[in-house]
A = this chain, B = another copy of it.
Amino acid sequence: MITALKRLLVGSPMSTAQAKHERLAKIPALAIFASDLMSSVAYAPEEILLVLVLGGVAALQRGPYIGLAIAVLAATVATSYWQTIHAYPSGGGAYVVASDNLGAVPGLVAGAALLVDYILTVSVSTASGVAAITSAFPELYPHRVAICVSCVVLIMAANLRGIRETGRIFAVPTYWFVACLWLLMAGGFYRLATGAVPPTPPAVPVEEPLTIFLILRAFSGGCAALTGTEAVANGVQFFRPPESRNAGITLIWMATILATSVIGVTYLANFYRIVPRAEETVMSLLGTEIFGRGWIYYMIQAATAVILLLAVNTSFAGFPMLASIMAKDRFLPRQFANLGDRLVFSNGIVICATISCLLLVVFQGDTHALIPLYAIGVFSAFTLSQAGMVCHWWRERGAGWHVRAAVNLFGALVTAVVVGVITVTKFVHGAWIVVIVIPTLVSMFLAVRRHYESLRGQLTVQGFSPPKLGRHPVVVLVGGLHRGVVIALTYAKAISPNVTAITVDLDPTATSRLQRQWQEWFPEVPLIVLDSPYRSVLQPVLHYVDQMEKQRDGDYMTIILPEFLPAKWWQHLLHNQTALLLKTALLFRRGKVAISIPYHLNQ
Contact = CB atoms under 8 A, between A and B. Distances in A.
Interface of A: 13-17, 333-335, 338-341, 448, 451-452, 454-455, 458-461, 464, 466-467, 469, 472, 481-487, 489-491, 494-496, 517, 521, 533-536, 556, 564-566, 571, 573-576, 587-588, 590, 592-603
A576 B494 CA distance: 32
Contacts of A495: 472, 494-496
Contact of A459 (B340, B484, B587): B484
A469 B597 CA distance: 13
A467 B452 contact: no
15 contacts: A13-B536, A341-B536, A448-B574, A458-B603, A459-B483, A459-B484, A459-B564, A460-B483, A464-B483, A464-B486, A466-B486, A487-B556, A590-B598, A592-B598, A595-B595
B564 A491 contact: no
A564 B334 CA distance: 15
Nearest to A13: B534
A594 B464 CA distance: 26
B487 A566 contact: no
A573 B461 contact: no
A164 to B, nearest CB: 17
A533 B15 contact: yes
Most buried by B among A17, A338, A495, A596: A495
A521 B15 CA distance: 33
B483 A461 contact: yes
Contacts of A494: 469, 472, 495-496
Given A341-B534, A574-B448, A490 B466 contact: yes
Given A339-B535, A574-B452, A461 B487 contact: no
Contacts of A596: 587, 593-594
A471 to B, nearest CB: 10
B338 A535 contact: yes
Contacts of A461: 481-483, 485-486, 517, 521
A574 B451 contact: yes
A556 B491 contact: yes
Contacts of A566: 451
Contact of A593 (B485, B575, B595): B595
A545 to B, nearest CB: 14
Contacts of A517: 461
